A and B are shown apart, each in its own frame.
Chain A
Amino acid sequence: MTTTTMTHDEAHHHDAPTGWRRWLFSTNHKDIGTLYLLFALTMMFLGGASAMLIRMELFQPGIQLLDPDLYNNLVTNHALIMIFGAVMPAAAGLANWMIPMMIGAPDMALPRLNNLSFWILPAAATMLLLSFIVPFFPGGGTQINTGWTLYPPLSIQVGMSMDFLIFAIHLLGISSVLASINIIVTLLNMRAPGMNLMKMPMFCWTWLVTAFLLILVVPVLAGGVTMLLFDRHFGTSFFDAAGGGDPVLFQHLFWFFGHPEVYVLLLPSIGVLSHVIPTFSRKPLFGYHSMVGAMLAVATIGMVVWAHHQYTIGMSLGAVTYFMIGTILISIPVGLMIFNFIATMWRGSMTFETPMLFAVAIVLMFTFGGLSGVMLAVVPADMQYHDSMFVVAHFHYVLMPGAVFGLFAGVFFWLPKWTGHMYDERLGKIFFWTNVIGFNITFFPQHFLGLAGMPRRIVDYNVMFTEFNVLSSIGAMIFGLSHLLLLYIVIKTIRGGKKARSRSWEGATGLEWELSSPPPFHSWTVAPQIK
């Protein structure tokens, strides 16, 4: 690998817009990546605030703060904001920042499309917020009390706030599809000479698969919510039994999107992990080819097991058996990934900087979430756990470590590259421990609550569940507030700190570490040669 020094770049971009134009008209992958990440950070606090309200309400049995519809609206918002507003944009931000640098390209393939796909997001977020605000006004209709799954017939009966939400989902979908197209075109056409697909960094591979998943499933969700809109306003009966429709069809459409979406959230973080663990173990990634294969297997099987979210709708024995076996099969390639990560750490000279701490936490806690997932995949068991707090505990154990911790690891890992400053390692570690401990106090008791029979998405609960709920709420406050520390660390790192070298971490390998920290305006103006 040759190193190209980039000091001649000033003359090249003297006409780059400044001030607010720099951001609004940006076609630069780094600026757009930054915008994505800042947007995600904002949304994370918004989604987090709704989660804190939920946990405050659940601190004691009875109805204290929120009336039931408002509570369910917050549950809906928490899910949609976190998934579409926080995790997906954050992953897209990492992709924007890192992919051109990793594959030796000057920028993304379709820079204007890139600008569009970001700037749709604030509009979508506004629509989403309007859907929450509208019911507070006279004539605004009822609150969205369906949860993020938007199942009819309830979602057909909700007031006009549902229309705002449907358009918000359309916009979010358009944004992520455009971003996905851009990423695939970049990865397929802009790689440095000599970098064939099987030499591509793991993070790029995970995003290639993620982007394909998004292109395959997001349009189906868009179709589903469009039908919902038609049922609400244009007299069609896609989901209305009285007109010959079937509400269960919506569940199929939703989960055809909803299940692969889980891998959309997970895979970019697996990509980050595949860089963080080798760096801090000072060993190359164990089993690169098997990782790629496992990921493709996960994505493929993941596309055809969606109905395990709907075991209780009364499918035939043959159908549930198929979905059960398919779902359990996924644990094989996922297990392979986990073993590869462990094998990478095996006998490595490990050090535990903040990104690595998050990586180790992922390997431990994501595996735990995966195990409770296998429990839920088993049909007779799921009939008991369905719609209980056990499910809530399960998917938070999968999504927090699987997706969010991976993003945290990525942010800490690449912050020195982005800003040119090292973050405060001591604060990073404090953040890690408060975050992880807070998370476990919040969600571990919810397993017991679910097994004891506490249903989810209900504002009130039986007094017998009080103790674990109190514990969970206290954990949620620690967990939620810990993110203020993240905000502080990020701001502090942007403003200054120890200068970061090009290769910010001793064991880091890859093209992105050949560029200066922070990197030049156009990443690789001369494509590097890959041997």
Chain B
Amino acid sequence: MAADNQGNKKRTTLLLGGLVALMFGFGFAMVPLYDLLCQVTGTQSIAIRAGMGKGPAVTGEIDKSRLITIKFDATVNPNLPWDFGPEIRSMKVHPGEIYAVNFVASNRSNSSVTGQAIPSVAPWQATPYFSKLECFCFTRQTLEGNERTDMPLRFMVSTDLPAEIRSLTLSYSFMRLKPGQEIKNEQQTLPAIATIN
């Protein structure tokens, strides 16, 4: 079993080595494939979650019988030298009514810095029923050195919000933007997918 067996062994070894290389590549191929898969299946990746809120139209109808607790949450990415948070931690709202709340951002550094917030709603099932009519997250925000500013948000919870949801959390993550970079968060009623250029 000497000669031809040696050839077989070599072939099997090379094939298996190729398989290893292929799977190592597959790991890296997962990076674009994963985003693609999330977009196709609607699996919640961060990029998509930001664009989920294709808010319902404002009908003017207010459901006074329901009170929904909205909690506000704010995170600043460590690459952004800002303090950022809501003026109030939570509020109770009626579906259909428009509310306003202020977030406060201040730049700890001495130079001008640009950032943008990415919103997300938890539980994620509530995302389509939460519409932001005016939001600082739609555009990039620039703060001069040591500047402090109010960032307004006007929002409405749809009357179609499923009955089992009694409270939801709106969370913002503020990210630093490089010059020329912008995150396209959703505009009202547009089912846009957030892309980070």
Contact = CB atoms under 8 A, between A and B. Distances in A.
Interface in A46-65: none
Max chain B CB contacts within 10 Å: which of A181, A217, A242? A242
B23 A219 contact: yes
Nearest to A244: B196
Interface in B12-29: 12-13, 16-17, 19-21, 23-28
A464 interface: no
Contact of A241 (B19, B26, B27, B175): B175
Interface string B160-188: 00000000000001011000000000000
Contacts of B27: 219-224, 226-227, 253
A315 interface: yes
Interface in A165-223: 177, 180-181, 184-185, 188-190, 215-223
A246 B13 contact: no
B19 A314 contact: no
Given A246-B34, A253-B30, A215 B19 contact: yes
30 contacts: A181-B20, A185-B16, A189-B5, A189-B8, A189-B9, A215-B16, A216-B19, A219-B23, A220-B23, A220-B24, A222-B24, A227-B28, A241-B118, A242-B175, A242-B176, A244-B47, A244-B196, A246-B45, A248-B45, A249-B30, A252-B30, A256-B30, A313-B44, A314-B44, A314-B124, A315-B43, A316-B44, A318-B41, A318-B42, A319-B43
A137 B121 CA distance: 43
Contacts of B9: 109-110, 185, 189
B139 to A, nearest CB: 18
A252 B29 CA distance: 13
B14 to A, nearest CB: 10
Q: What is the size category of the interface that chain A forms with chain B?
A: 35 or more
A422 to B, nearest CB: 35
B85 to A, nearest CB: 18
Contacts of A215: 16, 19-20, 23
Interface string B42-82: 11111101000000000000000000000000000101100
Contacts of B42: 316, 318
Nearest to A110: B13
B23 A216 contact: yes
Interface of A: 109-110, 177, 180-181, 184-185, 188-190, 215-224, 226-227, 238, 241-242, 244, 246, 248-249, 252-253, 256, 313-316, 318-319, 527
A279 B68 CA distance: 67
A104 B79 CA distance: 62
Given A246-B45, A248-B45, A219 B175 contact: no
Nearest to A318: B41
Max chain A CB contacts within 10 Å: which of B27, B124, B175? B27
Nearest to B45: A246
B3 interface: no
B118 to A, nearest CB: 8
A110 B17 CA distance: 13
Contacts of B35: 246
Nearest to A223: B27
Max chain A CB contacts within 10 Å: which of B5, B46, B47? B46
A256 B173 CA distance: 28
Contacts of A181: 13, 16-17, 20
Contacts of B41: 316, 318-319
B176 to A, nearest CB: 6
Given A184-B16, A185-B13, A238-B31, A246 B47 contact: yes
A151 to B, nearest CB: 14
A242 B79 contact: yes
A109 B35 CA distance: 42
A219 B21 CA distance: 8
Nearest to B12: A185
Contacts of B45: 246, 248-249
A516 B31 CA distance: 54
A3 to B, nearest CB: 20
A218 B27 CA distance: 10
Nearest to A241: B46
A515 B14 CA distance: 32
A243 to B, nearest CB: 8
Nearest to A211: B16
A511 to B, nearest CB: 16
B16 A217 contact: no
